[in-house]
Amino acid sequence: MALRLRQAIAGRPNVKTKQSVGVLAVDGRGFIVYPSSSNVILLTPELQLSETLQFWSALPHRATSSTPGNVQGVSCSSSESLIIAWSDVHVVLWQYLPSRSRGNWNVHSTVVASSPITCLDFLAGTLVLGTQQGIEYWRMDPKAEVVVWDRLWERSYPPPTSIHISPATGHLAWIGEEQQKSAYIIIVDRKGQATGRAQEIRNPREIAWIGWRQAKPGSGDAHLYTITTNSVLRLYSPVLDDPAWFQLHLTLDHSAFASQASATPKSKGEHPESNPFGVMWVWNTDVLRSALGVELEGIKMGRIDISAEGRQKLDSLEAEESDIVAWVGPDGIVVLRSIMNIERKPPTLLKSLYLGRTSCPSSVPPDLWTSRAQLLLIPETTLSVVLPPTDRHPYIGSLQTSLTNIICSEPQGFSTALPDTSAEETTLVQLEHAVERLVRTPNGRGLLAIGEGGEIAMWYKQQLGVRPNDWDHGPKALVGKGHWRDKSTPSQAAVFAKGRAIVFYTKPEDGSGSITLQHLDAGATTPQEPLTLPHFTPTEDDEVEMLLAVSDIDDGFSGKGRRTQRAIVMAATRGGEAWVWRVVSRITPSNSEIDGRPDVFLLSHYRLPLDSGHQNETPRMILPVDPMGWHQSTIDWTTDTPLQDMILTVSNDGDLEFWTPKIGQHLASATEELKGLDLKHGDMACEMNGHAHQHRPVDEPWTRTGVVRTERRNLINARCSSRKKTVLICELPDGRHEMTIWDSNVSEFSTGLELTHIFAPGETILDLDWTTTSDLQSVLAIGFAHRVLLICEQRMSYVETTPRWAPLLTIDMQRYTSVPISDSIWLAGGSLAVGAGNQIYLFSRFLGRDTPTPSPSASARSVRVDEEEPEDIFQLIAHQNGPLVDYHPILLAQCLLWDKGALVKSILLQLVKALRNCEEAGKKRLVFNRLDPSEFYSTRKTIKAAKSSDRKYDGLFDTVQPEIEDDDDEFTARVVADLIERLHGNVRIPLSQAEKSFLVSVAQATHEAEQQRRALDFSGLRYLISLRMYVNWDRIRGANDTLAPDTGGDYEARPNGTGAEKRGRSHFSFRNIVWATHSESQELLLAASTESCRNGKMLWDEAKRLGIFLWLKSAESVKAQIEIIARNRFMVDEDRDPTSCSLIFFALGKKKVVHGLWRQAPGHKEQQLMLKFLANDFELDRWKTAAMKNAYALLSKQRYEYAAAFFMLAGRPKDAITVCLRQLDDWQLGLALARVVEGGTEGPIVKWILNDTVLPMAFKGGHRWLATWAFWTLGRRDLAVRVLISPINDVAEAFLPDTPLEVGNPENDDPSLLLMFQHLKSKSLQTAKGTSEVSTKLEFDFVLHNARVFFRMGCHNLALDLIRSWSFERPFFPPQKLKSRKVATPISTPTPVPLDGAVPTRPSLAGSLSQSYTGHRRRQSFMLTSGRRESLIMDMDVLAESGASSRVPTPPNEEEQPINGDKHEEALRETEEVNEDGTDKGSAPVEDKQEKARPATPPKKIGNLMKELKQDVQQGAMEFNMDNFF
């Protein structure tokens, strides 16, 4: 898939020689060949660019070591499919090799002459070169496998200007440069040697053309034509008695033709420079024979109507082997005469007859015709006339003609295949030299090309609205406006006013730089005299780095006929100086014409006040904020107020600073202060002489609107889009290029980094350019030497990990030209202009699904786009990154998570109905009416009237009880089955097969959730929905034998996760484990989890992936489930190995079960030893020691799991768990064993695992979900709430103030974090306290950040709903007493360092996040959210919290010993016993007394309730609610 080529502008032909164009027909295709710059250009007969052959790349390396020059001439041979071109002394021959798809031009051979070449000719393996020293004769064997050229002879003559080989290769004829009135003929024998002296044939006038008549094959006759400048044709042939001597046999002058021309006088002033004698040219006899055969065949078949007289003339031409001579008069009349009896003897029988007359098209002036015009005939097509370029008209012309029409004297014997010239086109613009840079107007309507040597070209991009199938006959997209040459090449340029106004910055080598303004008047091809912008005085060593111009017609609506009235021009130098000018046009109100030159006023001259850290340094780059793609006005022209940033400065440290100028009102407030001051300029410009003016107004002319810290150095290229997306290119030490894309919207939760990509060695980035789609999606074009890579933003998904940016498509320029790309730039309407050499390729935004073809017409004809597929890149990008359709499974899944199940059912019912209606109506495409966005706002919309229930749940934004639908709900199992059937029906749905399967999963999950809603709370419901989607996605992965990517940005429950497992299985997000942890319906969740396993039998891998032993609360359930897993593990293998389950059974204390399992393993080699060993009493120290020795022996053999089993048998559970953590790298297994051994989550080993392993891992990886689960399990519920949205380094510092923790970049792109925060913030006193420590501003920023995440996911309606309905009400908690540490002091945390020592790909947030915002002053009491009816869990002492730290220590247990990791390793080595009841001081926070004493079951006793109420009354914050008394 690629972009369609809309238009290709070929380079201007080189007209230094007479051989400036050639034609040939090969493989059913016709080509017009001409030299342009250092390339050979191939056009179609319709003058569309077909291919480009690079001359110097075809030569050996030693030949290209010198400075490449322009190609001077070409010659073609249709019989041998060869193109010959020369430059200086080098000759290159290309040969066409046909293939199935499209033939290629390959280098045939090369020749090096002894002196510079002036002309050449090729025929049947013979190459004749006219050089500065004379003539060289070369020959090769066409049938040889290896081409070898031999120079047979060389003679010294005056430099020829045109040389030709006779058809029988027996003669050479040429014209000398010194004697233009003489032609020379020399005889060549069969051995290729020249014999005798050259015969001189003199003419009274200069010879304009010379050529041999193409005789019949096998004929040895030679007939030479000459045409002089006064339109006189002469025919020379050998005499009978002396074949070596040529004499004149026939003469035709213009009078013989003019007598047959029209007597209508020429209009006065019409083509005053035309040749009064007209132009005469001889038609190629070979082409004429073929054309006659085609015409007569058409007459016989009845396709062509012709009179009897015309039919007789055609038959006579074919029978007599006549030649045709055409004459074009000064008035554009074309007359044809025939020359007959040339093949007869004696030659005195020659005669000339009149054939017919016609007229030229008005678009082709008569002075464009020359005697070097050529005929081109493609089989089964019309005859074409190719007009070579001249000094006066340096363009190639192409006309289509028909002998029948001319002989019948039809008025339009010639026609042009080109589309009519647009009224917007002033002139045909083709570049003579290679493009150096492309510049566009702010709205992309004007295109300026700057070529080598100061060549300037201007085009205008028309807004046509022509469909691709009509491109052949429609007008051109780019029309020429002007072409001129400046004295020096401008280093910076800006264009505005639809390309009519041009701003250049030039700096001569011996002078100071200046900025000039030029204007292209209507109908003019060159601009007016340049106007120098005033008061531009940079320092001598400073140069302009940026030019930007915006006018009122390039900004916003640009109607037809509108003229520029005002414009703003901005310039910034490398040193940071900035100028702003206002340009005001003098337009006459009566006719809206410009009257005189515009007025230019300097508005400001200022040095950009760089960041305090870069005040004394020069910016590395100063770039314009690209106006291309702005969909709103950039400037409010009524008040002269910029509405967008204009300039971007990039420091050496990679800091991006955005600037906006004040162009009209920035001096108004300072008028009184400036009274009496002597301003140099009357426009109140801000003066600056190296530094800011001492009387500078407070309101500065430039405002910095944003800063992004990228920490990128060694920048070599950068671009900024209108959406303030910035791409930076850095060169790494190894020479590779690193590309990063940054968003200007940075916050505590986003560094702005969106993409980091390192290109392979050799992939050098040459060009960058941005555009914006119609729905504000950014697209970046990355230019390499021979390709352009387009990348765009990607939609984020919860189902799979997708990069924020990804390649969209690639434009392979080697399919069109071998010339390297000079520059590429976006234009209006999504068109992309690519400059390669001196050619411009314009690609439209429309897509093609087949192999790109070089010509635009072929590209339009060969592509047929399916109506289901996107037609252009705008639609494709919208499909990949735009809003999702309402029935998209990703959107529906999010609606389910956000408690919008009724809305999901409504959408699914509408989808089923729409599919049914389309099938009944016979439609092939789905017609689905999108919902109004307001329907997403209500979380309680139901399909039918619902009845209330006594159960209470937590809603999305409130805590009212959910509504339960009636039993006669329309969304039934039959509806789900109907949906599944119709999704695979005949109606096409814009969803992939995976998305359809995912949609089925969502429908099934919705139905199951509705069935179990009465038994499930919202937390359990979210887990169940995610489980169903996970199982479905895993099934899709297995069916397609592909990998299911990770869920978007979340920490996944793969604790040990070896590489093979990570590559082979999909992953279950840890957020679902946290939801299950807070669910009270765990028995149902456990049953659903077991059902999701293979064959309904859960193994440890499934339990670990689903986090079963992380969210199960009941200790008995934990023991029962882990025993089931152990039994399943034993039964899963046919060999029944007891070692696979011994660890779990020993942890359960079921040694006898293991002993029994060993009895069932007769084939195991260790059976007898284990039966004997397990028969002992392990309550005795002797056998405990023996078990430990076996464990260490197994460790040395790397049988880690079995070693842990022996540690567990020896009564050393902590040693066994240590093996799980360190050797097995499975902290979930260690935690499950600890819960089994200690009977809950309050034991010291569990706390040791959470404090020393889980939380450091969570902080290091920035895993918020893992951290909140760990804090909740530890009883630190305040931190469990804070870690959801607070900066992680703040939470880490609050958790361990004296112990620095390594903190990584947090996972912030997850709206479900807000769900959990809303669910927990008022759940208990501790969570309320944690909520109170989260500032309102921080919460607001996090909500706004995740609204952007919803936007990236394509859930625009949910993003709007989140911002619209999020409630910031929260319980207020009494503030703590101030500590000695100042609150305003930012917390310093170390930057995370990767384990492999690599440089992080994006800057860490740890060093940039400061202390949380203090927020509003809170009441000194505890106030619950109004309207809340649930009881608050009293899990802390509010009186103590009001005057002390939130960390309430518990008196240590004297019987417990601290656990230390280093001492533990030493104990393992010395086989000493370790106290299992020990605790790690300072690492495991001890629970609050009341939390520890609180029973596990939710109901509370009256005594405890009264104590809590008394505490609340003392605080004065108890909310009175009558329902509490009933």
- 3-class SS string, 511-547: CCCEEEEEECCCCCCCCCCCEECCCCCCCCCCCEEEE
Distances (CA, A) of 77 to 19, 93, 113, 130, 247: 13, 10, 20, 18, 29
Q: What is the pLDDT of residue 680?
A: 38
Question: Taken in order 749, 751, 753, 756, is the CA torsion positive or negative?
Answer: negative
Strand partners, 437: 450
Q: What token pair was written down for 1048?
A: 């978007």
CB burial of 1162-1189 (b: ≥16 within 10 Å; e: otherwise) equals eebeeeeebeebbeeebeeeebbebbbe
Q: Using omega within 30 degrees of 0 as the cis cutoff, is the peptide bond preceding 933 cis?
A: no
pLDDT of residue 39: 92
Torsion of CA 1520, 1521, 1524, 1526, to 10 degrees: 130
What is the spatial distance between Cα 219 and Cα 444, in angstroms, rounded to a whole number? 61
CA distance 20 to 22: 7
Q: How would you classify residue 130: left for phi > 0, otherwise alpha for psi between -120 and 50, otherwise beta?
A: beta
What 3-state DSSP class applies to 856?
A: helix
Query: What's the pLDDT at 1433?
Result: 62
Q: What is the pLDDT of residues 111-170, one digit of tens each?
A: 999 999 999 999 989 999 999 999 999 999 878 888 899 999 999 999 999 999 998 888
What does the alpha-carbon distance between residue 1401 and residue 756 come to, in Å, rounded to a whole number?
A: 7
Count other Cβ atoms within 10 Å, centred on residue 769.
Answer: 23
List the strands of the sheet with 160-165, edge to edge.
160-165, 171-176, 182-188, 194-202
Dump the DSSP string for 698-749: SS-SEEEEEEEE----SEEEEEE-TT-EEEEEEE-TTS-EEEEEEES--BTT
Query: In this predicted model, what pLDDT tens digit does every residue of 1282-1307 receive, in sequence order?
Result: 999 988 888 998 888 888 888 888 88
Residue 529, both tokens:
């005299």
Which H/E stretch holds residue 63? none
Residue 583 pairs in a beta bridge with 567, 600
Name 480's Cβ contacts closer than 8 Å, sequence gap at least 6. Answer: 425, 426, 427, 428, 429, 457, 458, 459, 525
Q: What are the C-alpha distances in Å from 634 to residues 555, 700, 831?
A: 6, 20, 21
Buried-state track 1294-1324, b at ≥16 Cβ within 10 A, e below 16: bbbeeeebbbbbbbbbbbbbbbbbbbbbbbb
Sheet of strand 767-772: strand arrangement:
767-772, 778-783, 787-793, 805-812
In contact, 410 and 430? CB cutoff 8 Å: no
CA dist 1516 and 1423 (Å) reads 9
| Helix (DSSP H) and strand (DSSP E) numbers for the chain | 37, 58
3-state secondary structure of 1005: helix
* 327 within 8 A of 278, measured Cβ to Cβ: yes
Q: Token digits for 136? A: 């060289």
Q: Is the CB of residue 94 less than 8 Å from the CB of residue 103?
A: no
Tokens of 408: 């019948």
Q: Give the whole-angstrom CA distance, residue 1060 versus residue 1047.
A: 18
Residue-by-residue DSSP string for 1360-1377 = HHHHHH------B-PPPP
pLDDT, position 851: 45
The C-alpha R_g of the chain, in whole angstroms, comes to 43
Task: Give the torsion through C-alpha atoms of 128, 132, 134, 137, to 10 deg.
Answer: -20
Of 912, 897, 987, 909, the C-alpha closest to 942 is 909
Long-range contacts, stretch 778-784, CB < 8 angstroms, 24+ apart: 778/629, 778/721, 778/723, 778/725, 779/808, 779/826, 779/873, 779/877, 780/719, 780/721, 780/725, 780/727, 780/741, 780/805, 781/824, 781/826, 781/832, 782/739, 783/821, 783/823, 783/824, 783/834, 784/821
Three-state DSSP class for residue 1465:
helix
Q: Containing H/E element for 1110?
A: helix 1108-1111
DSSP state for residue 873 in the 8-state scheme: H
Residue ranges of the chain whose pLDDT lies below 50: 263-272, 557, 589-592, 666-698, 851-852, 860-867, 940-967, 1040-1066, 1377-1431, 1438-1526
Tokens of 16: 């230094």
Supply 1199's token pair. Answer: 């049988």
Q: Exposed e or buried b for every residue in 496-532, given b needs 16+ CB within 10 A? A: bbbbbbbbbbbbeeeeebbbbbbbbeeeebebeebbe
> What values do phi and psi take at 8, rounded to 5?
-130, 120
Rounded Cα–Cα distance for residues 1133 and 1164 (Å): 13
Q: Which residue in this structure is represented by tokens 């405990």?
A: 1184
3-state secondary structure of 1433: strand
Q: What kind and span of H or E run contains 148? A: none
Rounded CA gap, 908 and 890, in Å?
A: 13
| Residue spans of beta strands (DSSP E) within 1242-1288 | none
User: Can you name the residues that pair with 448 across neighbouring β-strands?
Assistant: 439, 458
Our measurement of the distance from residue 223's CA atom to the centroid of its chain's CA atoms, rounded to an integer in Å, reads: 62
Burial pattern 1383-1400, b for ≥16 Cβ within 10 A else e, equals eeeebebeebeeeeeeee
Angle between the N-to-C axes of helices 1312-1320 and 1070-1077, in degrees from 0 to 180, rounded to the nearest 10 = 20
Within a 10 A sphere around the Cβ of 1091, how many other Cβ atoms? Answer: 11
CA dihedral (989, 993, 997, 998) in degrees, to 10, reads -80
